[in-house]
Amino acid sequence: MKVDIQSLGAFNRLTHEGAEQATASMCRMTGLDAVVDVTKISLVDRADVGEQLAGGEFVGVGFDFEGELAGETALVFDRESSETIAEALVPGSAADEAMARSSVEEIGNIMMSGFIDGWADFLGATIEHSPPEYVEGSGRDVLPAPSGEAATVEGPDAFEGIEHGDAAGSGEGASAAGGSLDQVFVFRSEIEWVGESVHFYIYMLPEYGPLADVMSNQASAADGAIPVDKLGVFNEMTSDGTQRAADNVEMMTGIETEAEVTQLSFAPIEDVPKQVGTDIYVGTVVEFTGVPSGYLMVLFDEVSAVHIAEAMMPVEMDSDELTDQHKHAIEELGNIVTSGFVDGWANVLQTPVEHTPPRLVHDMGRAIVDPLAAQVGRHQDHAFLIDSEMRTDDIAFGAEIQVLPDEKELRQALDELLVERADRTEADVERVFE
Amino acid sequence: MPDVLIADDSDFMRNLLREILEEDHNIVGEVENGVEAVETYKEEEPDLVMMDIVMPIRDGIEATDEIKTASPDANVIMCTSVGQEKKMKEAVKAGADGYITKPFQKPSVMEAIADVVPS
């Protein structure tokens, strides 16, 4: 299967418009004011679907749908906002559990019918959906397990064991077994309740087979179509890069560090800064050149930045504030993490990828990303985003790695990517220096 | 004690290398870019240069090339976060005698130095 950028763009727009239509329905019914904040299409490890919901309690509705496109979709609210919505629909219902549940089912039904109908209209086909099923749960458990076969087809030896259609409804453990590739497409819209720090989410988890057919039909035979197996392999290379980054952090700080979610997403340029949010971050930005070129950010929240820098210092600083020494340590860490990331691509693609020295940034997430997105946006309307996270249990520390590559060059890199070389991310120094 | 020149644009990394090396080595200079590295090499003629690759103004590979062209007996260890095979080959071509990838710990640094500058 191949996807081209235009059809990914069209799918993203359609998902966004469907979410807007669903949100408008809710606003009309409740009088609440909400807007669709971000819509993106991600290729993600099956076990990581819904990772963004971690830590929250959610209720909502889920549907199966089938026809030209098949799969599962869900609309989920955090539990507290669902009570407000129920109250807005039927005053007094929030205290009545059965009524509150019925309200969520009904509003979910109306919102999601519009969402699915939009897809059917776009495809000029009928898509049937099941009655809404009330769902509740913690974090990603509230979402249906994505069913159907995985997105990738062939890989090098290290990635053998790729799942093929045997994971229906039981995908959670599939990718963990033997480190095999098991990635699925996720269409996700995040809806913001205006004036409140509350978000709710629409997830669509299409089955691979019907989605592949739709994408193939939409993709022109034209240039620039990307084989999806290469996208999947590239995603796995990025996962390796994140693991290398986590290993480097662990070596420099002595703090056991895990690579967490890695996903390759596709979103309109104007939505890119929204991915990072409005929290204050400390980190580094580098520009890399080669194929592909782009920007790479290593971002820590302020508390994590102090903790991680302290751990790197040979002497204890014991400061809650970021000092110049902390900043120098963060700069160097950013440099090493960046190299760990792009070197893997360079070694697999057998081409040098240069990067500038790291530039220290300390600002609101969106303010950091805005000028970079504007720069990339001079040549493209949509962007691929590579988003990785590292976490540790030892101290409060988390980091995000965001990569914003040039779309055409990424496409060229993927075109030149030899899948059988995809596990050769590390160079052998001793052999080179023999 | 062997004289060592440290070339790295990171203040943090220069400090770290100094701490690792100063017990057994004489640090004759710490510089932040390739141009300063070449100039200081000419002035001090150290026994060893610990050279970063990604530096502003002139990178470590160009600086190594210039130093080795002028002084073929110079000892240069690339001390870098760059782990790309093509870059390593460029470093070999420029005349680098050794290569350590960051992050490193004292034993790997000392081992690389022992290979290049036998005591």
Residue A330 has pLDDT above 70, yes or no: yes
Q: Which residues of A156-183 are buried (b: 16+ CB within 10 A; e: fewer)?
A: beebeebbeeebeeebbebbeeeebbbb
**Confidence band of A25 (pLDDT split at 50, 70, 90):** confident
Contact between chains at B82 and A343 (C-beta distance less than 8 A): yes
Average pLDDT over residues A105-128: 83
Which of A248, A342, A353 faces B103 most closely, judged by CB atoms? A248
Average pLDDT of span A208-237 = 73
Please judge whether A336 and B9 are an interchain contact, meaning their C-beta atoms are less than 8 angstroms apart: no
Of B9, B11, B85, the CB nearest to A347: B85
- Residue from the list A248, A325, A357 with its beta carbon closest to the beta carbon of B55: A357
User: Between residues A81 and A57, which one has the greater pLDDT?
Assistant: A57
A363 pLDDT band, cuts 50/70/90, is: very high
> Chain B residue with minimal CA distance to A326?
B12
Q: Give ranges for CATH 3.40.1550.10 in chain A.
A: 2-218, 226-432
Alpha-carbon span A228 to A211, nearest angstrom: 12
> What pLDDT, in 10s, does the model give residues A206-221?
887 788 778 777 765 5
pLDDT number for residue A171: 32
pTM reported for the whole predicted model: 0.77
Which residues 356-415 of A are in CB contact (within 8 Å) with B? 356-357
Name the token pair of A22.
């669903």
Q: For the domain with range A2-218, which CATH number is right: 3.40.640.10, 3.40.50.150, 3.40.1550.10, 3.30.499.10?
A: 3.40.1550.10
CB contact under 8 A, B12 and A347: no
- Max mean pLDDT range (A56-65, A249-258, B30-39): B30-39
Cβ A281 vs Cβ A365: under 8 Å = yes
- pLDDT interval class at A224 (50, 70, 90): low
Which residue is it, tokens 């510089």? B31
Listed by number, the residues of chain A in 241-280 with a beta carbon closer than 8 Å to a beta carbon of chain B are 248, 251-252
| Min Cα–Cα distance to chain B from A352, Å | 6
Check whether A427 has a pLDDT greater than 80. Answer: no
Q: How many CA atoms lie within 13 A of B6 on its CB side?
A: 20
Q: For chain A, say whether B87 makes contact (Cβ under 8 Å).
A: yes
A346: closest chain B residue by CA? B84
pLDDT at residue A154, as a whole number: 39
**A329/chain B closest Cα distance in angstroms:** 6
Using pLDDT thresholds of 50, 70 and 90, give the confidence band for residue A310. Answer: confident
A149 neighbors A181 (Cβ within 8 angstroms): no
How far apart CA A299 and CA A362 sit, in angstroms, is: 9
SS (H, E, C) A43-79: EEEHHHCCHHHCCCEEEEEEEEEEECCCEEEEEEEEH
Provide the pLDDT for residue A118: 81
Tokens at residue A34, please? 């909400």
What's the average model confidence in pLDDT over A153-164?
34
- pLDDT for A175: 30
Do the Cβ atoms of A356 and B9 come within 8 Å? no
Give the pair of three-digit tokens for residue A210.
Answer: 């019907």
β A226-227/A2-3 pair status? antiparallel
With residue A16 as reference, give the H or E element that holds it: helix A5-30
The residue count of chain B comes to: 119
In chain B, where are the structural domains located?
A: 3-114
Nearest to A433 among B9, B13, B98 (CB): B98
Tell the CATH topology of A226-432: Chemotaxis protein chec (3.40.1550)
Question: Over its length of 119 residues, how does chain B's per-residue pLDDT go in tens digits?
Answer: 999 999 999 888 899 899 999 999 999 999 999 999 999 999 999 999 999 998 999 999 999 999 999 999 999 999 988 888 888 899 999 999 999 988 888 999 999 999 998 77
Q: Cα(A45)–Cα(A391) distance, rounded to whole angstroms?
A: 17
Nearby residues of A232 by Cβ (< 8 Å), 6 or more positions away: A43, A150, A151, A152, A153, A155, A181, A183
Q: Could you tell me if A31 and A194 are in contact, meaning their C-beta atoms sit under 8 angstroms apart? A: no
CB–CB of A357 and B54 under 8 A? yes
Average pLDDT over residues A290-310: 87
Task: Write the CB contacts of A46 (distance below 8 Å, at least 6 apart in sequence).
Answer: A146, A150, A163, A167, A171, A172, A174, A175, A182, A183, A184
Q: What is the pLDDT of residue A414?
A: 80
Task: State how far the Cα of B56 lies from the Cα of B48, in Å rounded to an integer.
Answer: 21
> Residue B9: its chain A contacts at CB < 8 A?
357
ipTM: 0.76
Averaged pLDDT of chain A? 79
The 10s digit of each residue's pLDDT in A276-292 is: 878 899 999 999 998 88
Name residues 85-124 of chain A within 8 A of B (Cβ).
none
Q: Residues with Cβ < 8 Å from A138, sequence gap 6 or more?
A: A56, A57, A58
If phi > 0 it is left, if psi is from -120 to 50 it is alpha, else beta; for residue A31 that is left
Return d(Cα A143, Cα A356) in angstroms, integer.
Answer: 41
CATH fold group of domain B3-114: Rossmann fold (3.40.50)
Which pLDDT band holds residue A152 (cuts at 50, 70, 90)? very low
Give B13-22's long-range contacts (Cβ < 8 A, gap of 24+).
Answer: B13/A332, B13/B52, B13/B102, B15/A314, B16/A314, B17/B50, B17/B79, B17/B109, B19/A314, B20/B106, B20/B109, B20/B110, B21/B50, B21/B109
pLDDT at A382: 81
Distance, in Å, from the CA atom of A64 to the CA atom of A433, rounded to the nearest integer, reads 57
